[in-house]
Chain A
Amino acid sequence: MSSSTAGVAESTEPDQAVVLELPARPEFLALARLVTSAAADLDPMFGDERVDDLRLAVSEAATNAMEAHREVGQEHPVVVRCALVDGGIEVEIADRARGFDPASLPALPEVTDPRRLEHERGLGIALIRAVTDDFHLSTGAGGTSVRFTVRGRFPDAPTG
């Protein structure tokens, strides 16, 4: 696999990672969720709700990456990388679009605001942050990468 994909950081030992190159088409989102949740199933301490959180975070990040490729006509795949880390699973999803200004993400109206129903999108990154740990986003002219960890066990549980 090419090592020149923008934004994919080597945060764990390379031979522990599963890497997917996914065509940037929505029908492949299910495959991204399937592979990452299967990796989480390798850890017997991973509870059902945490697997749901993982599937959601992967879905959000992969959707954002695919839509970014569509917006700029990028025909290359998006890259999904996952690895088991201590107590959880680390996922990194990178696109090769043109990046964005995180400060430009519009704030959603409060739920009590009648205008809230006018905003059908914009939830994605906030949701990834809410359901994952160690969220990190990097973006630039060569694309955007989001990295997060979903921990499957209680922080104080013995790891041995």
Chain B
Amino acid sequence: MLTRVTETHDGDDIVISVHGDLDLASVAAVRIPLRSHALDSELTLVLDLTACLLLDSAGAGVIIGAARRRRQAGGRFLVVAPEGPARRFLAEARLDQVIDVVDRRSDADTRASVR
């Protein structure tokens, strides 16, 4: 099954969704839309991994790169990853301590108010 990457615009959010495996073969398809919105500091850039069936360190590299560029641009970056292999990877690699990760997009507003 080939990985499918979609981009949707939802209010102030740009949502990049990954359907399938995020590995060395599919990182380019994710990196392109993430980089194209790296400097959109007024919007929230969301990477939705709800339908991501595997996340490995090659895939995480593009997530780390996006988080760094968003931080440098002063823009918000959020990863949606409910319980599953992608979320477990982010926890195992402790990336959920340096990147905003939520179970679902509706949780994002709560995090914003807490911060």
Contacts and interface: CB of A to CB of B under 8 A. Distances in A.
A144 interface: no
Given A52-B85, A59-B21, 12 more contacts: A27-B25, A30-B21, A30-B25, A56-B89, A59-B56, A63-B24, A63-B56, A117-B71, A117-B98, A120-B60, A120-B61, A127-B89
Interface residues of A, number: 28
Contacts of B85: 52, 55-56
Contacts of A130: 92
Given A56-B54, A59-B56, A118 B88 contact: no
A56 B60 CA distance: 12
Contacts of A131: 92
Given A55-B54, A56-B85, A26 B25 contact: yes
Contacts of B32: none
B23 A59 contact: yes
Interface in A15-59: 26-27, 29-30, 33, 49, 52, 55-56, 59
Interface residues of B, number: 26
Interface of B: 1, 21, 23-25, 54, 56-58, 60-62, 64-65, 67-68, 71, 85, 88-89, 92-95, 97-98
Interface of A: 26-27, 29-30, 33, 49, 52, 55-56, 59-60, 63, 66-67, 111-112, 116-124, 127, 130-131
Contact of B23 (A49, A63, A123): A63
Given A33-B54, A56-B85, A117 B25 contact: no
Given A55-B85, A120-B61, A127 B93 contact: yes
B102 to A, nearest CB: 18
Contacts of B61: 120-121
A52 B88 contact: yes
Contacts of B71: 117
19 contacts: A29-B23, A29-B24, A49-B88, A52-B85, A55-B85, A56-B54, A59-B54, A59-B58, A60-B56, A63-B56, A111-B94, A111-B97, A112-B97, A120-B61, A120-B62, A121-B57, A123-B57, A123-B93, A127-B89
